[in-house]
Structure 1
Amino acid sequence: MNAEQGIRGSYWLETASGREPAPPPFGDVSVDVAVVGGGMAGLSTAWELVRGGREVAVLEAGRIAAGVTGHTTAKLTALHTLVYDHLRRTRGREGARLYARSQSAAIRRAAEIVTDLGIDCEWEEAAACTYTERPPDIARMRAEAEAAREAGLPAEFVTETELPFPVAGAVRVTGQAQFHPVKYLLALAEDLHRRGGTVYEGTRVTGLTEGEPCVLWTDTGVSVRAREVVVATHYPVFDRALLFTRLSPRRELVVAGTLAASQAPRDMYITPEGNTRSVRSAPYGDGGRLLIVTGEHFTPGAADVEERFDRLTAWADSRFTGLSFTHRWATQDNDSTDSVPLVGPLRPGSRHIYVATGFGGWGLSGGIMAGQLISNLIEGREVEWAGLYDPRRLASVVREGGSFLRHQAHVAKHFVGDRLPHVTAPAPEDLAPGDGAVLRMGGHQCAVHRDGDGQLQAVSARCTHLGCLVVFNRAEQAWECPCHGSRFAPDGRILQGPAVRPLEKREIQSP
């Protein structure tokens, strides 16, 4: 399944309004609050602050809602696979309760906004289910149902679902939602503008000077002064708190296809089995439904992305009769090492810099929650779950030890291994159209790509974030950093941070 066969990219971006991009600032800007990042977390925070009377500017490197939010599965739920039994063991019952309350409050907030603003975003109430097909895992599902119920969710253990295949058991939580996230965010941005807020697109922030006021520097040379700064770029582009040691980037693949409404599930489903399988459907065309299937998560830089797409497609095709594939895309998020997002003051001593990251694949409810939390913190109001999400929280061996060490070992392998000479590598002339490889040319490691017309182009192979070697993702035609998830186009342009500088051009030479 590929683009040549008529398969399109993100359904959400394809079906959103074709609005003109907001221009970058023409001169220096001064506001109360500058929000870096125009996804769910950034726009939610900006909207809450503008609604409270603050003067706010949103700075987005590309187009708003076109990053992670534009490539999500678009489930809005407080049931995050199997998080509650884990939180009950690592954060105690109170920690699990606060997590459930905060995520549920985010869903209610989104429902209020949809109603108040009259947003046409295909809002549907649905139940969320985490299921297993393996009888040995029934006890695990029962424990999660119990923990979620203790945390305050209307959770139950069930053995039957509407899925067209049997399950051994599932956790079911009613009163959740699914919607069109890009239509929702574009409407939020329009209301933000009506209330006096400003959105700047095509404006990459490259530097930050903390102070009173703080100063943000952009790639166009324009500066933005703000009393408060919110960094909502998923992976923080400013990492003075060394949050990269507590975040692991991962990509997930999505395939989607049309299905008769009578055969499409109306609730939302996920299983951690088989490297994750997540299923939901959305309204499509004249009475039909679009089945959206997500899974096959991997660290950026994996070499077998096309094979992973094939596995996900085969799984969906074998489970749902009459499925006709129309779209495929991929998304990226960051897992925190203790399974709880990092939302709040950037680091100890930060009085004016806030961050929202580490949503672990649940950035819709997490982003809306972050908007509520950070706006309240800026306004000086207490929030009962602020401590749960505080990025300054002390890590414990129980909460973070294993995940922290595994992530650091992965990064260390690249920092060391990328600096050792590689014995074998193809020559530029050996690259087929659409292929890319890291080659040594003129004493430098270069990322060389041959496009569909046979033309070669080369850029530096070292990620401009912290210097790991990039790897080529043929399925998505992108260079990816396996350490912290930065992504670049074949010509070196930044597709995704935390890098804020493109890969430098290189001359094609024989190795």
Structure 2
Amino acid sequence: MREQRKVTDSYWLHTAPGPDHPALDADLEVDVAVVGAGIAGLSTAHALARAGRRVAVLEAGRAAAGVTGYTTAKLTAQHTLVYDRLRRTRGPDGARLYARSQSEAIEHAAELVAELDIDCEWETRDAYTYVGDPSRVAEVRAEADAARQAGLPASFTTETGLPFPVAGAVRVTGQAQFHPVKYLRALTADLLRLGGRVYEHTRVTGLTEGEPCRLTTAAGPVVTARHVVIATHYPVFDRALLFARLSPRRELVVAGPLGDGPDPDGMYITPDENTRSVRTAPYGPDGQRLLVVTGEHFTPGTGDPRAGFDRLAAWAETHFPGVTLDHAWATQDNESTDTVPLVGPFHPAARHTYVATGFGGWGLSNGIMAGLLLTALITGRDCLWRELYDPRRLKSVVREAPSLLKTQAEVARHFVGDRLKPPGSVADLAPGDGTLVRSGGERLAVHRDEEGALHAVSARCTHLGCLVSFNRAERAWECPCHGSRFAVDGSVLQGPAVKPLERRELD
């Protein structure tokens, strides 16, 4: 990738490092324990604290530094081509509830920004879903009609601020964009002011449901809580079998100062070209804009992201010639098999455990929506869209069946097929690269560092046993089945796995 500067973190994390929070070092008792300190977890914790509940947030890494810290930071109710699909699968009422829930999430965030005087570069922008292929214009027209019927200020247009023509686009006015990490830093500060607690570097490894519930952590302390919320993006517990209804995908991001080129003045996304998402953000004190381009999605553990970064950078530089791409990162999302997030009781028998997952690439509005919904459920208030997002929904089973079967067939293909692939060779391993080898009767994941030393760990993902694969662009081991990610030393970077890859010695 041609770039003048590259940082290991996203632009959002790079520009809002934030304070450290302590690790949990003693047993704790609270009303609600929230596992995960991303947009969903912190929004839930903050809303519950405002409702008078004693809340603790438990984060395996750093607050706001997971998936939320790597987003493109669009806060919109316009989610590509979702409303025409919802109108067909959930009926007009389902589409209206979806639009209302997303819009109320945006309004809630706007109210907090004003009330708490949060300096998070909040801007109102129109959102567009566009296509360049004339054969897809009918899809876009149907989406505009469905979104308008659902209650959004939506219309069909062929005019945009992009520096190239489009065949058609859905335009939804009055949406928002912001600096997500600055927003969450302020939300966390207010959570602490309200008496909530945030613990970083505290990995939760076990859950016992009951009255009360108990959470165990890798370091030993136990958390006792009347209610538990699992907001880890991909649930770290499998008792609900939600892993069968979720598909992980990874997406690349390039960003940098726009230069003298025109600002497209909007938030744009297209399903064409393996996805392209475009927006700008404030950059520096002199009125410059930061161009953020996302796309080239792939299943974790498959392909070579380096080629995707090259394609994405080339696309950005072609359409925005003055841009200087000095940031590059990747993000990860999970999509449910029926495309609607899973937010509510963890499983059919759950009484005090809740989950928020399956945001399908729209984690900001869905994360805030999840916080409002879960707070209503825990405090005993009604919520109009409770049934729409309920993970226990049964009417969607038939609708989900084809996608569910396809998802599980892909998992089975990796589980079996990856074991049949010929092993790699340590002798051929370049510095910085990794491969799977056979040693002592098992598959090992071997990485050669820049000094030439070899580091070996078990290649079996500690979640459900699929074989990991090496991501050369980010230098991480990734599971193609459910999206767990590990550092080269085997430590967990991203769940659902909660245990590291076991270290091994090479023969």
TM-score with structure 2 length normalisation?
0.98
Give the aligned partner of residue 409 of structure 1. Answer: 409
388 and 261 in structure 1: CA distance in 2 versus 1, 3 angstrom threshold:
farther
Partner of 2:376: 376
Report if aligned partners of 2:260, 2:322 keep a CA contact under 8 Å in 1.
no
Q: Do 1:90 and 1:398's aligned partners in 2 also have CA atoms closer than 8 Å? A: no
Q: Are 2:127 and 1:128 aligned?
A: yes
3-state secondary structure, aligned to 1:125:
strand
Amino acid at match of 1:144: E
The alpha carbon displacement at 1:135 in A equals 1.1
In the other structure, the counterpart of 2:491 is 493
SS of the residue 1:122 aligns to: coil
Q: 2:37–2:63: 8 Å Cα contact kept in structure 1?
A: yes
1:191-240 residue CA offsets vs partner (Å, 9 max, x unmatched): 00001000000000000000111000000000000000000000000121
C-alpha distance in structure 1 between counterparts of 2:477 and 2:292, whole Å: 26
Cα contact 2:261–2:321 (8 A) shared by 1: no
1:446 matched to which residue of 2? 444
Q: Are 1:461 and 2:428 matched, yes or no? A: no
Q: Please list the CA deviations of residues 476-511 of structure 1 after superposition, one character each: whole Å capped at 9, or x if unmatched.
A: 0000000000000000010000000000100022xx
Distance of 1:239 and 1:308 partners within structure 2: 32
In the alignment, structure 2 segments of 5+ residues that lack a partner are none
Instruction: For residue 450 of structure 1, report the CA deviation from its aligned partner.
Output: 0.4
Partner of 2:480: 482
Q: Once the two structures are superposed, what CA deviation does each residue of 1:394-426 show, in whole Å capped at 9, x if it has no partner?
A: 154663122111101000112222444x4x333
Q: Equivalences for 1:333-372 in 2 at 5 Å?
A: 333-372=333-372
The equivalences for 1:60-71 within 5 A come to: 60-71=59-70
The answer on whether the counterparts of 2:74 and 2:176 sit within 8 Å (CA) in structure 1 is yes
- Deviation track 1:347-377 (CA, whole Å, cap 9, x = no partner) reads 1110100000000000000000000000000
Is the CA contact 2:300–2:479 (under 8 Å) kept in the aligned structure 1? yes
* Distance (whole Å) between structure 1 residues aligned to residue 240 and residue 229 of structure 2: 14
> Paired residues, what number?
505
Change (3 A) 1:346 1:397: closer
Query: How do 1:130-149 and structure 2 match up within 5 A?
Result: 130-149=129-148
The DSSP-based 3-state class of the residue aligned with 1:355 is strand
Structure 1 distance, partners of 2:361, 2:394, is 23
Give the AA of the match of 1:269: Y
Pick closer, same or farther for the CA change 1:204–1:65 going to 2, 3 Å. same
In structure 1, distance between residues paired with 2:396 and 2:455: 47
The letter for the 1-side match of 2:498 is V
Partners of 1:261 and 1:289 within 8 A in 2: no
RMSD in angstroms over aligned alpha carbons?
1.2
Per-residue deviation, 1:25: 1.7
Offset of 1:6 from its aligned partner? 2.1
- Asked whether the 8 Å contact 1:74–1:181 carries over to 2, the reply is yes
Match of 1:94 in 2: 93
- Counterpart selection for 2:429 from 418, 426, 431: 431
Q: What TM-score results when the alignment is normalised by the length of structure 1?
A: 0.97
Aligned counterpart, 1:46: 45
Whole-Å separation in 2 of the counterparts to 1:256 and 1:399: 38
Q: Does the alignment pair 1:156 with 2:155?
A: yes
After superposition, give the CA deviation of every residue in 1:422-453 in whole Å (9 maximum; x if it has no partner): 4x333212200111111111111100000111
Matched, 1:277 2:246: no
Which residue is 1:391 aligned to?
391
Q: Is the 8 A contact 1:33 1:226 kept in 2?
A: yes
Aligned to 1:296: 296
> 1:325 is paired with a residue of what secondary structure?
coil
* CA contact 1:261–1:287 (8 Å) conserved in 2: no
Q: State whether structure 2 residue 193 is matched by structure 1 residue 194.
A: yes
CA deviation digits over 1:43-79, x for unaligned, max 9? 0000000001000000000000000000000000000
SS in 1 for 2:135: helix
AA paired with 2:352?
A: H
Change in 2 beyond 3 A, CA 1:261/1:381 = farther
Distance in 2 separating the partners of 1:121 and 1:478? 31
Q: Is 410-419 or 469-478 further displaced after alignment?
A: 410-419
Amino acid at match of 2:121: E
**1:396, 1:183 → 2: CA distance?**
37
Q: Which segments of structure 1 move beyond 3 Å, counting only runs of 4 or more?
A: 395-398
Secondary structure, aligned partner of 2:431: coil
- Of 463-472 and 309-318, the range deviating more from structure 2: 309-318
Distance in 2 (alpha carbons) for counterparts of 1:43 and 1:88: 31
The residue correspondences of 1:214-225 to structure 2 (distance < 5 A) are: 214-225=213-224
In structure 1, what residue type is equivalent to 2:252?
L
Return the alpha-carbon distance in structure 2 between the equivalents of residues 360 and 399 of structure 1. Answer: 17
User: Which AA in structure 1 matches 2:303?
Assistant: A
Query: Structure 1 pair 44/397, CA: closer, same or farther in 2 (3 Å)?
Result: closer
Per mean C-alpha deviation after superposition, the further-off stretch among 296-305 and 244-253 is 296-305
Give the residue type in structure 1 aligned to 2:433: D
Residue 315 of structure 1: aligned partner: 315
**Do structure 1's residue 473 and structure 2's residue 467 form an aligned pair?**
no
User: What are the ranges of 5 or more consecutive residues in structure 1 without an aligned counterpart?
Assistant: none
In 1, the alpha carbon distance for the partners of 2:466 and 2:162 equals 43
Per-residue deviation, residues 72-110 of structure 1 (Å, max 9, x unmatched): 000000000000000000000000000000000000000
Q: SS of the residue aligned with 2:165? A: coil
Code of the aligned partner of 2:390: D
Matches within 5 A, 1:127-276: 127-260=126-259, 263-276=262-275
* Residues 83, 146 of structure 2: 8 Å contact kept: yes
